[in-house]
Amino acid sequence: MQQSIDTHAGNAIAHTHARTNPVLVYAILAIFTLLEVTITVTGGLPRQTLIPLLLAISFVKASLVALYYMHLRYEKAIYGIVFIIPAAFAVFLITVLLSG
């Protein structure tokens, strides 16, 4: 009984907000993925434009997963901070290596 009470108290923190429809998030992720593949396969864009564009789409997709599927948008700020620091490092490293 105590177990039930405890987890409810914890989960309540994360689940009191109105959530974004997960199917909508999935549809956006799928559209972005199709867009990425189409842009790459058609090959109409120069590499200087293609790489930043693909990276931007990828980062947007990853952010959508973190914010809406991992619920970072609704969670305590500390979880976000803990995750955003290495994520920012990852973005920085990938951007620097690809621009070199």
Partner 1 sequence: MNQAPVLSSAKVSAHSESHINRKFGFWLFLSSELLIFCGLIGGFLVTKHYAATWPTQQQLSLWLASLNTFLLLTSSLTVVLGIENIQTNKQRSLALFLLVSALLGFLFLCGQAYEYQHLIFTEKFGFGDPFGTAFFILTGLHGLHVFVGVLWAITVALRARRGTYSSTNYTTVEMFGLYWHFVDLVWILIFTIVYLI
Does the protein bind partner 1 through residue 7 (CB under 8 A)? yes
Burial of 68 (0-12, 13-18, 19+ CB in 10 A): buried
Q: What letter represents residue 22's amino acid? A: P
Give the burial class of 66: count Cβ atoms within 10 A of its Cβ; 0-12 exposed, 13-18 middle, 19 or more buried. Answer: middle
Rounded CA separation 80/82 (Å): 5
Q: Which CB, 9 or 44, lies closer to partner 1? A: 9
Can you tell me which residue has the tokens 């690809």?
Answer: 98
Does the protein bind partner 1 through residue 8 (CB under 8 A)?
A: yes
Compute the least distance from the CB of residue 86 to partner 1, in Å.
4
User: Is residue 82 part of the contact set for partner 1 (CB under 8 A)?
Assistant: yes
In the bound complex, what is the minimum distance in angstroms from residue 83's beta carbon to partner 1? 5
CB 72 within 8 A of CB 83: yes
Question: For partner 1, which residue of 17, 45, 49, 90 counts as binding (CB under 8 A)?
Answer: 90
Binding site for partner 1 (CB under 8 A): 2-11, 13-15, 22-23, 25-26, 29-30, 33, 36-37, 40-41, 50-51, 54-55, 57-58, 61-62, 65-66, 69-70, 76, 78-79, 82-83, 85-87, 89-90, 93-94, 97-98, 100
